[in-house]
Amino acid sequence: MQGMTGLYRHGRIAALLLALLGGIGAAHADTPLHALWELHGRHNTVYLLGSVHILRPTDYPLPEVIQDAYRAAQTVTLEINLADAGSDVQSEMLASAMLPEGRTLASVLGAERYSRAQSLAGSIGLDLAPFDAFAPWFAAEAIAQLQLAQLGFEPQSGIDLYFLGRARGDGKRIDGLETAHDQIAAFQSLPLEAQSNYLLTSLEEAHELPREVDQMVHAWQRGDTAWFEHEMTSELGKDPILYQSLLVARNRKWIARIESLLEDGQNHLIIVGTAHLVGKDSVLALLKKDGFSAVQR
């Protein structure tokens, strides 16, 4: 999630939601397809780049087709405008992650699930105690961040921050499809029971994270939409609350804004999580229903 740079998930659902909430770097040589789509307005072009917000420095350079899309765009639009995301966003995130007074992570999970979660965290060398005052979703995100850092992934090397830096240096306009508050609220609104199950599932899949993230990197490099759609169906699709809150509702909110950009005469590069661009409820599917067809590059 862009407003929460660096907080990501474990295992199969971790790899999938990395694509939902952010860019994995491309191969060092161009491949036939990429996670990049092109739409044409009457007098302009809008590029949609699927991403994940965290990757390794070794995943650069990006292929020329993505670089060309950036060079052609006058505006770079991210999920949120990271240029405006300061310490107040981090403060809001931490405040929203705190459990109500008198509640603890242990009391929310219950004795049996908390014992199980402690054991699973310990198996990857981590401790749940520092997260006792925080909601389960935050504990899952923070723990995954630690594990991903051990694998060499870093937020500052992510696609979003990479293009943010370039756009700043080149004097291009930077914009966002939603606010940091919107993204924080998407998690905060999840029922505690759903959050608890999410934390436990994440920890159960923690040992799979290296393999799953590696698979996602390669799928992204190939522009393999079938891989992402399969993961959407088999993993996130199992939890209708997460699916609706983190994917479908946000896609629908973005459509009017994206369609307006097709009418303004300037070229735009829009960067959103790759999972927002695949499947029957995707941004691309919604645009197609409105008569806007995209071509994968």
Question: How far is it, in rounded angstroms, from Cα 245 to Cα 233?
Answer: 15
Q: What pLDDT digit, counting tens, does each position of 246-269 carry? A: 899 999 999 999 999 999 999 999
| First-to-final CA distance of the chain | 25
- Contact between residue 241 and residue 179 where contact means Cβ atoms under 8 Å apart: no
Closest CA to 97 of 124, 130, 52: 130
Q: What pLDDT digit, counting tens, does each position of 188-206 carry? A: 888 999 899 989 999 998 9
Count of CA atoms in the C-beta half-sphere (13 A) of 59: 27
Percent of all residues in the chain with a pLDDT value above 70, rounded to a whole number? 87
Per-residue pLDDT at 22 exceeds 80: no
Q: Lowest mean pLDDT: which of 6-20, 31-45, 153-167?
A: 6-20
**Residue 87 has what pLDDT?**
56
Instruction: Give CA torsion, residues 49, 230, 252, 2, to 10 deg.
Output: -50
DSSP 8-state secondary structure symbol assigned to residue 225 = H
Q: Residues, the chain, total?
A: 297
Average pLDDT, the chain: 86
- Residue 237 or residue 131, greater confidence: 131
* Mean pLDDT (whole number) for 231-236: 76
Rg (CA), the chain: 19
**Residue 48 has what pLDDT?**
98
Query: pTM, whole model, 2 decimals?
Result: 0.85
Per-residue pLDDT at 1 exceeds 50: no
Q: What pLDDT digit, counting tens, does each position of 69-79 carry? A: 999 999 999 99
Closest CA to 213 of 258, 169, 158, 170: 158
